Amino acid sequence: MNTNRLSKTMQASLIKQMTKENQASQIYLALGIWADSQGYGGVSNFLFRHAQEERNHMIKIMMYILERGGTPMVEAVEAPKQLPKNMTECFNLVLQHEIDNTNAIYGLVNQSMDEKDWATWNFAQWFVKEQIEEEKLALELIDKLKIAGGDRATDESLFALDKFLGDAPDEVTLARTSTADNPE
Ligand code: OFO
C-alpha cells in the first residue's frame, strides 16, 4: 500500500520550498555578516536571528512531509550572490527576497488547489500568514531607515537604528512557535 499521502509532484514542490527556506537562511546570514563588517552589530544580530527563523521554516516543511508519509530531502544551496553596498540596499534585498518567497508560497497554494490536496493547502496557509508578517517587517525596516535619512542618514541616526534593531523584541520569532526543537 502506498502510505505517502503526498503526490509525487507535491512532494517535489515541498522539497523545493525546503531548499528555498534554507537558501533564505544563507542569504540572511550573508547579510548579517555584511552588516557586522560595517559595524552594525544590532542589524547583524537581527539578521542572524532571522536566518535561524528561515531554517525553522525549512524544518517545519520537512516535518510536514514526514507526517504525510513522504520523504523529505536536503538539497544543496547556492552561496548568496549579492551583497549590499549600503543599508538601503541591504533592506531592499530583504524585502525583495521576502516578496520572491511569498510568490513561491502562492505557487504551493495554487498547486494544492489544483491537486485538491486540502491538507497541504491548509498547511500552506500558515506560510501565507507568515509572509504577510515578514513583508510587513521588511517594509518597516525600509521606513525606519527612510526616517533616519536613507542613504544620507547620519552616523548618529544609523547608530540609533542599529541600537533599536539590536534591542527590538524578537519580532523575528515570526515562526514563533516553530523551532528546530519544536518544529510545530
Ligand atoms: Fe521563510 O519566511 Fe522569509 O523568506
The closest residue, in CA terms, to atom 3 on ligand 1 is 98
The domain of 43 spans: 8-175
180 is a domain residue:
no
Compare 151 and 19 and report the one with higher pLDDT.
19
Q: Locate 9 and state its grid cell.
A: 509532484
DSSP 98-141: HHHHHHHHHHHHHHHHHTT-HHHHHHHHHHHHHHHHHHHHHHHH
Cβ proximity of 65 and 11 under 8 Å: yes
With cell 523529505, the residue in question is 72
Query: What is the distance between the alpha carbons of residues 61 and 19, in angstroms, rounded to a whole number?
Result: 10
Q: Give residue 146's Cα distance to chain centre.
A: 23
Ligand 1, residue 97: give the atom nearest the CA. Answer: 4
pLDDT in tens, 7-56: 999 999 999 999 999 999 999 999 999 999 999 999 999 999 999 999 99
* Distance of CA 175 from the midpoint of ligand 1 (Å): 9
Amino acid in the structure at residue 84? P
pLDDT in tens, 90-105: 999 999 999 999 999 9
* Distance of CA 177 from the midpoint of ligand 1 (Å): 15
1 is a domain residue:
no
Of the residues 91, 98, 135, which should be mutated to test ligand 1's pocket, given the most ligand atoms within 8 Å of the CB?
Answer: 98
2 is a domain residue:
no
Query: Model pTM?
Result: 0.89
Ligand 1-lining residues (CB < 6 angstroms): 21, 24, 54, 57, 98, 101, 130, 134
Compare 158 and 22 and report the one with higher pLDDT.
22
Count of structural domains within the chain: 1
72 is a domain residue:
yes
Query: What is the distance between the alpha carbons of residues 44 and 165, in angstroms, rounded to a whole number?
Result: 9
**pLDDT band (50, 70, 90) for residue 152:** confident
Q: Looking at residue 35, which CATH number applies to its domain? A: 1.20.1260.10
The closest residue, in CA terms, to atom 1 on ligand 1 is 54
Kindly provide the b/e burial profile for residues 85-110, where b requires at least 16 CB atoms within 10 angstroms of the residue's own CB: eebbebbbbbbebbeebbebbeebbe
**Over 70: is that where the pLDDT of 172 sits?**
no
Query: What is the distance between the alpha carbons of residues 114 and 97, in angstroms, rounded to a whole number?
Result: 26
pLDDT in tens, 94-135: 999 999 999 999 999 999 999 999 999 999 999 999 999 999
122 is a domain residue:
yes
3 is a domain residue:
no
